[in-house]
Amino acid sequence: MLPADIVWRSSTGIGYEHLKVREENNQILIDSIVIGSQPNNDIFRIKYDIVLDQSWVTRAVTIRYLGEDQGLRLSSDGKGIWKDEQGQIIPELSGCIDIDILCTPFTNTLPINRLSYEPSQQQEIQVVYISAAELNYRPVKQNYTLLENGKDSSVFRYQSGNFTENITVDSSGIVLVYPNLFYRETGPDAR
């Protein structure tokens, strides 16, 4: 799977993401740029970086607006303890292992690759849900269920609150199709 060079297109409004995945020093490094539109039609450009360990556990995430000083940086011990940029523990995020950044399908890959799945078995997790537009975060419960497991692709049902969608991923767990939100344009197994 690694390295990977992937582009997703937003299926609603304006939007593209260019993501690079590489391994270095026993870490998986994610580097991405997202250009999109907010509900009020304002255009945004953000860059995010994620540091994962070899088990796909998030160790750090940095998000910033391109051309601006505004940004957010969080780090984790990999066991559910999160700290802000000043090194202060964030108690409300206790127990979260994964992150979910609102403007990208990539962060769905993290629990898909980190957890073991049996068909139809639901996995409930708590994630750090990050709004890139507001640069804020909160804990959110999510569920992933393996619906189909194929050689080249698999389908997972994703649920969070009242939202449910069936996400198709490639053999490396990276999103191919997130219906009504994102479609992969380049990279291995692009559709």
Report yes or no on 191 lying in a domain.
Answer: no
What is the block-wise mean pLDDT of the chain (191 residues), using blocks of 10 residues? 85 89 95 86 90 97 90 96 97 97 95 94 96 91 96 95 95 92 75 52
Q: Would you state the pLDDT for residue 142? A: 97
Looking at residue 158, its pLDDT comes to: 97
In a domain, 48, yes or no: yes
pLDDT (0 to 100) of residue 188: 54
19 falls within a domain: yes
What's the pLDDT score for residue 190?
Answer: 56
Concatenating the DSSP letter of every residue in the chain gives --SEEEEEEESSSSEEEEEEEEEETTEEEEEEEEEEE-TT--EEEEEEEEEEETTS-EEEEEEEETTSS-EEEEEE-SSS-EE-TTS-B-GGGTT--EEEETT-SGGGHHHHHHS---TT-EEEEEEEEEETTTTEEEEEEEEEEEEEE-SSEEEEEEEETTEEEEEEEETTS-EEEETTTEEEEESTT--
Domain assignment present for 156 = yes
pTM to 2 decimals?
A: 0.93
- Give the domain range for residue 11: 4-186
Reported as a single tens digit per residue, the pLDDT across 96-112 is 999 999 899 999 999 99
* Structural domain count, the chain: 1
